[in-house]
Chains A and B, each alone.
Chain A
Amino acid sequence: MKFVDEYRDLKSAKVLTKQIEEVVTRPWAIMEICGGQTHSILKYGIEELLPKQITLLHGPGCPVCVTPLEQIDKAIAIASRNDVIFTSFGDMLRVPGSQNDLLSVKANGSDVRMVYSPLDAVKIAEENPNKKIVFFAVGFETTAPVNAMSVLEAKRRNLKNFSILSSHVLVPPAIEALLSSDDCMIQGFLAAGHVCTVMGYEEYIPLCEKYKTPIVVTGFEPVDILQGILMCVKQLEEGRCEVENQYNRVVTKSGNEQAKKILSAVFDTIDRKWRGMGNIPKSGYALKEIFKDFDAEKIFDVGHLEQNESSLCIAGEVLKGVKKPVECSAFGKECKPETPLGAPMVSTEGACAAYFHYGKNKFNAVHTDLVK
């Protein structure tokens, strides 16, 4: 298949692996920020092909994983109401809240539906005028524009029964939080290609300069990732730190202007709590005051719900790249995809689930502690 097969090609992978081997002279720790990249790395066994000096740290770029517990509890509280049809992308349905998950709410008789697009939820709202339709708007800058569109579309169609529970998070503030933390081990970043498709990569330049850390905008196929790693290692070895664009077949410097315009029309940037990482300043989107009639948090009065994390789970350290999933005492024992203790075990893009699913604990030797 065009645009896929050539980026999953054995020959290209071999060439890139060899080039990485030739360039690397000492240990480097590189974080891939996006869960989609983590998934690809595990699915294609990329770490196995890399020289031992390179450690990949798996970043917090899985929106399912970083959605805070209280936000899930709010979703569950809303979804449990008789007058509500609660809609969500599939992944969020299994994320455990403090008591249960949305799939259990569904099994208990509530109307919880999986949709592929928030515009489907708008359609459901139009077809069910006697119900309140809520869409769980989760995701990074990638999904934010279409979620914003759903609000504009509902307004255009004059729907009074559609709202979103916004839980959007933003990548650059998270990178800054990671880089400025005391236990930061990260020497280079692979930035998330799809986020940059929307936002461009201008906003990464000041981060790169301030923290003297190379950032390479990278795609999701194995050949993309290997090339991103090569570009990052080259910078590190040469003592450079720049924002480079590996994913130039899709990403431009300024991104998608149209999408950015919609985002700034609908959302305000706010401080947001990340699961496992705590409060990060200016790291989330909330609906602007003029769209308050579409804001589920205001309509259903669930803003006061607050929850703390389970103490067993080391998700925070995993999401910061300080620990590997297999270093958790609960990994594969108390915590499995069927019974996740923390969010990274839920989504296929979560680092813990990817490790479990692709049998990292069973087959490959994990090279940790290379960079200290």
Chain B
Amino acid sequence: MTDETKINITPGFSCPIPKSEYDKILLAHGGGGSLSHQLISKMFLPQFDNEILNAQHDSAFFTHGKYTFAFTTDSYVVQPIFFPGGNIGDLAVNGTINDLAVSGAKPLYISAAFIIEEGLPIEDLWKIVLSMKEAAYKAGVQIVTGDTKVVEHGKGDKIFINTSGIGIVEEGIDISPKNCKEGDVIILNGSIADHGVAIMSAREGLTFETEIISDTAPLNDLIGSVLSVSKNIHVMRDPTRGGVASTLKEIALSAQVGIEIDEKEIPIKEEVKGACEILGLDPLYIANEGKVILFVAENDSEKVLLEMKNHPLGKESRIIGKVTKEHTGIVVMKTLIGSKRVVEMITGEQLPRIC
């Protein structure tokens, strides 16, 4: 350890707990909203403090020799573990692949760690394993290491999966909020809120005329083809927890730009819209698992859009907005009735309305 990297810790001394409004963890701390951000900014970042982490990308970037690698991790606790369009297994594989892909990396290897509750039917585990195998195969990655732990009945919820992944970033690719510029065009590859609404409908036992299916999918192939036609992709993000609204707000803040989007350009499936009306949810804040938001230099936007539309996962791609010089750090949306309003980050969990 060199002098610069030496960590200054006095034995027996521990840092005071950072001030927080709550003395216990609430579900909302994991909701991807402002309470989650408080945990990260007040507890994790200052204590784990280092250059790679502080960049706060979807993946951590590090170089070895002349190569740049991306490294990411994510845990999956979805309930129910089987839902229309997928299960916790392919979700866990796709999610980590997508975190790497939106960082501009080509995913190579992933790990899979299972925390299983005593009593889980072997048949369920088998289904999960097979779907993970298929997801990895489809995305062209290998699952190369793993771990299994079993906890007593009642001490877990059927199965939790953690996946980590490593990818390689090709030379010349630089995806980062700092590249975001006035005039950048914002592209989305299809309808929003499918995953979150599919899960919530399954959880609540709601059925609709048309089944709502999760959009879980690996985005690396779509992103790979986009990167092959344009070197001017400035930012990419997969709008998972917190949805499109929270993702755009995060980018506006970290890139210090203004964002303007047009509500009528944001595609939502009829059945998803209907479910959101019933449940009192705002689709802008609902999780997606197969969607990507791209910030592209204006000159390249048309060819990127065309390339995306030619890909099976991008047929519904649309320009949903642009980057502005005004209202730095603020996302403004032109509403369906022609007025404008601010789009904020989600706070806590989205709770269903009562009347």
Contacts and interface: CB of A to CB of B under 8 A. Distances in A.
Contacts, number: 126
A189 B138 CA distance: 59
A9 B22 CA distance: 43
B304 to A, nearest CB: 28
Given A103-B26, A338-B21, A42 B341 contact: yes
A357 B348 CA distance: 12
Interface string B315-355: 00000000000010010100111111111100111011111
Nearest to B274: A1
A359 B22 contact: no
Nearest to B352: A90
Interface stretch (B27-35, B60-68, B143-151, B178-186): B27-35
Interface stretch (A20-28, A45-53, A153-161): A45-53
Interface in A116-149: 116, 138-140, 142-143
B32 to A, nearest CB: 14
Contacts of A46: 337, 339
Given A36-B355, A92-B354, A338 B348 contact: yes
A365 to B, nearest CB: 12
Given A1-B270, A1-B273, A143-B355, A45 B330 contact: no
Contact of A359 (B24, B27, B273, B330): B330
Contacts of A228: none
A326 to B, nearest CB: 13
A348 to B, nearest CB: 7
A363 B330 contact: yes
Contact of A114 (B28, B34, B340, B351): B351
Interface string A30-58: 00000010000011111011000000000
Contact of A138 (B264, B340, B354): B354
Contacts of A222: 335-337
B332 A363 contact: yes
A49 B277 contact: no
Interface string A321-353: 000000000000000111100000001110000
Q: Which of A45, A48, A363 has the most CB of B within 10 A?
A: A45
Contacts of B28: 103, 338
Contact of A339 (B21, B27, B270, B352): B21
A1 B275 CA distance: 11
B204 interface: yes
A315 interface: no
Interface string A195-238: 00000000000000000000000000011001000000000000
B7 interface: no
B122 interface: no
B25 interface: yes
Interface string A274-287: 00000000000000
B20 to A, nearest CB: 10
Given A14-B338, A43-B335, A359-B341, A107 B355 contact: no
Contacts of B348: 94, 337-338
Interface string B292-324: 000000000000000000000000000000000
State the main secondary structure of chain B at its contact with A. Answer: loop
Given A359-B341, A363-B340, A363-B341, A108 B24 contact: yes
B344 A356 contact: yes
Nearest to B38: A338
A44 B335 contact: yes
Q: Report the contact-size class of chain B (Cβ under 8 Å from the partner).
A: 35 or more
B354 A89 contact: yes
Contact of A45 (B34, B204, B341): B341
Contacts of A140: 355
Nearest to B336: A8
A9 B337 contact: yes
A194 interface: yes
Contacts of B344: 356-359
Nearest to A140: B355
A103 B354 contact: no
Nearest to A138: B354
B334 to A, nearest CB: 9
Contacts of B24: 104, 107-108
Nearest to A109: B24
A362 B337 contact: no
A78 interface: no
Contacts of A104: 22, 24, 26
B160 to A, nearest CB: 19
A336 B336 CA distance: 27
A1 B264 CA distance: 13
Nearest to B279: A116
A49 B26 contact: no
Contacts of B343: 359
A1 B208 CA distance: 14
A143 B351 contact: no
Contacts of A97: none
Given A103-B26, A338-B21, A362-B330, A142 B341 contact: no
Given A338-B35, A363-B327, A44 B341 contact: yes
A299 interface: no
Given A10-B337, A90-B354, A116 B204 contact: yes
A108 B249 CA distance: 32
Q: Which of B21, B341, B353 has the most CB of A within 10 A?
A: B341
A359 B342 CA distance: 5
A319 interface: no
B140 to A, nearest CB: 39
A328 B64 CA distance: 54
Given A44-B335, A49-B339, A363-B341, A94 B327 contact: no
Q: Which of B22, B273, B338, B349 has the most CB of A within 10 A?
A: B338
A222 B335 CA distance: 10
Contacts of A289: none
Contacts of A363: 327, 330, 332, 340-342
B335 A63 contact: no
B339 A142 contact: no
Nearest first, the 6 A-B pairs at minimum CB distance are A359-B342, A45-B339, A90-B351, A89-B354, A13-B337, A337-B347
10 contacts: A4-B277, A13-B337, A44-B336, A90-B349, A90-B353, A94-B348, A104-B22, A108-B24, A359-B342, A364-B340
Given A103-B26, A357-B344, A362-B330, 14 more contacts: A1-B277, A4-B273, A10-B337, A45-B335, A45-B337, A49-B338, A64-B354, A114-B352, A116-B204, A139-B354, A222-B335, A336-B347, A348-B353, A364-B341
